Structure 1
């Protein structure tokens, strides 16, 4: 969805936080939001993300805003959040960059390693541990019951053994990046 496709009252709610938006360019990477745009408003440039409706995507976006301070200096700082007409909209400072090259031997890999290590040294104050969240989901037990035909290129039995260890592997009070990708 593009900025101008948003309902007027939704755009107005964002502009109440930012001032008048003079330009908005869609961000076409990612699939976690209904809206992702780089927005110019006065002297500031922001990334505005929006999710229509509730559910998991809205919870993830709310968490990204609420706990963004835990990764200060690594991720763009949260600037505002507003809820209007079943829309959650969140603004972050804009950071110029480019996708990381994650192929073996890439010169980007040492920097990615350093950032992931930095994240792992930070405590997740106020967060429920990933281990606790995953312990009672049933995902891992469900994996064990899947037919090998579901994932023809996987060794499902071996994956199930590793999946059984995941809950203990993520135990602790440190941050972890669970969606590592080039963008």
Structure 2
């Protein structure tokens, strides 16, 4: 198999470097197939590993510069508070995707919700109010999916149109 038939360059093997037509051998970020990942060679060559570590460092520093702006500080180019406010407003104004199924007309049921807390490693049980459609809309291996709305535990009035 010729070097140009290979998908990846075999750097560090016999001290050779591969170059494909139309690609710069020094630029590992030009390909659309990379999807933003840097692929390191699997060799034990010390000189090759030093070369790769410097490439990785320059790749990530260039990535930081392009994503965070020229200052390198994410706080200076992206404002999290405004982004969250924008996302909340956008979510508030979105129509209910299940409004056409009129789940608010179905009888209310009591259910037990099981939640896992990854910090404490414990399972928690909550009693919740739900409205669940009688017909499933999806099936799979050992599962059936029903359209369901759960009423928030923090609401004082039963407003099913705003339930998630």
Provide the TM-score with structure 2 as the length reference: 0.23
Q: Looking at both structures, which has the greater relative contact order when contacts are Cα pairs under 8 Å and sequence separation is at least 6? A: 1
Q: Which has the larger radius of gyration?
A: 2
